[in-house]
Structure 1
């Protein structure tokens, strides 16, 4: 599992679940080659549906199938799964209380050379306002498989945000993901909450800070909604908080954490993320630098808060 790309994790997990449950369907929006789901078509037959480049219709079709008892797993680019299809997701899936799993891929700067039109910094913000929606941003292959498996057996609407390519392995098959967060590093001076590709940057920042005599804990807060309020309040009591996300600082992980802190235990906080900017074409390292999503941006912010 640790050597698989995230798209391979998706394909293999859905195939395994579908072999045991004939109600599972896979919906694709003409991205079979990009996501590797062409293999699912071979295995699932009529339970694999490619709607073409019509994401709104993909959501509507999924809703109709869910009403008849099927469990649709829906994949497309993150901006098209959310921004382009928002009304269908909100009404046909959310409002109608249908059980469906939406997987939005290549979020934020990971869209790289596809550029600004395919680079969502707003998808979590949009999905957060849908009542009852469950939102996850996965950072690791084992975590991705576990969340997909859970989404199959649970009820309601799910939005899972992930890269398609290789992700650094942070966990193993024995990890417990039921709490919605994992503490990857202990610390006493403050906390870094991160999700997705920013978890690795957060760990590097914590190591850099440790060399300066600053001890911070790193928590992968992968379940963004419903967020585990207890761990956030506990962190607020410990000291300053940094949130690090591959998303607009408005409406995403940082906003969700800030809301909990403001109502329960106000403390110093800094949100690391994209600030009022659109996407652009570029390689991942370049884009991380441009948008201030590097480990040094996180460590500098923590040092400033501790002053």
Structure 2
């Protein structure tokens, strides 16, 4: 990883590229286009951009209507507003009738930073994962975000993209991307780390440190939380026996629970979920918040060591 780029910035760029190839792509935003990075699409294709104002429920309902006319709408705002405030519209106006609407929700997790706990979505994966038929994707870097945007545009039905605010490392080698297919970043024998989003880089850093002390570590990038790659999860869990999940989300209802659902009744595993421990976020610099919530590399490393 040699450079850094915000996942939300890659999302905005991907929409502009996609809009140039497909005139059915439309973008809706709730008065946060400069923050969600959809402003580029608005400038390039103003006739296909709709600002709903601070009215997220209206935005989702507008997108539902546009989808019935053959358009492929992408809805964007902060994750806490799109997945939370507009939940009923996401559920009943889009998912229930299985409309072809995509949700690109940014500023997820505690690394939103100084805006504080009211704006930091730490339960959005759980909310979206429980909706029948909803695809849930958490890209790990800018490159994967671009591929994810193109993939959800091609699929039919609702999809939720969880996007981070912070500029984070970009992997030097682009990974293949297929919805529902996890990427094995390294093989190992002693413990397997399942991670998503910006915690994938942290998982790799932890693996490097553990390898120095003779611990063989597998690292899996689970970019698709739903449908999860059950075959990959089960294969590596059975091989390693010790299982760790790492996410910038509550340990309730997110990646950890998705992996646990796959493994229930399938074997004898030592299992640890690393994430936000049933707490709200708070205001602070992103790097300080990662330390506070035990999600910096040193804290995650120490947590992993407790089961070795």
TM-score, normalising length: structure 1: 0.95
Give the root-mean-square deviation of aligned CA atoms: 1.6
What is residue 274 of structure 1 aligned with on the other side?
Answer: 276
List per-residue Cα deviations over 1:19-78 (Å, max 9, x = no partner): 221111010111122133222122112210000111111111110111111110111001
- Alignment of structure 1 residues 153-164 onto 2, 5 Å: 153-164=154-165
Q: Flag structure 2 segments of 5+ consecutive residues without an equivalent.
A: none
Distance 1:92 1:170 in 2: 37
Number of aligned pairs? 305
Instruction: Report which stretch shifted further, 7-16 or 95-104.
Output: 7-16
Query: 1:225 aligned to 2:226?
Result: yes
Instruction: Give 1:294 deviation, angstroms.
Output: 2.1
Greater helix fraction, Structure 1 or Structure 2: 1
Distance 1:125 1:235 in 2: 24
Quote the residue 2:257 is aligned against.
255
Secondary structure at the aligned position of 1:243 is classed as strand
**Secondary structure of residue in 2 paired with 1:245:** strand
Structure 1 pair 266/52, CA: closer, same or farther in 2 (3 Å)?
farther
Provide the residue aligned with 2:186 in structure 1. Answer: 185
* C-alpha contact (below 8 Å) 2:198/2:248 kept by paired residues: yes
Instruction: Show the counterpart of 2:121.
Output: 120
Quote the Cα distance in structure 1 between the aligned partners of 2:294 and 2:182. 24
* Unpaired stretches in structure 1, ≥5 consecutive residues: none
Alpha-carbon separation, structure 1, partners of 2:268 and 2:155: 33
**What is the CA-CA distance between 1:187 and the residue it aligns to?**
1.3
Name the SS of the counterpart of 2:307 in structure 1. Answer: helix
User: C-alpha separation between the residues in 1 aligned to 2:137 and 2:289?
Assistant: 23
With normalisation by structure 2, the TM-score equals: 0.95
Determine the C-alpha separation between the residues in 1 that align with 2:172 and 2:228: 20
* Residues 1-307 of structure 1: pairs in structure 2 closer than 5 A: 4-170=5-171, 172-173=173-174, 175-178=175-178, 180-238=181-239, 239-306=241-308
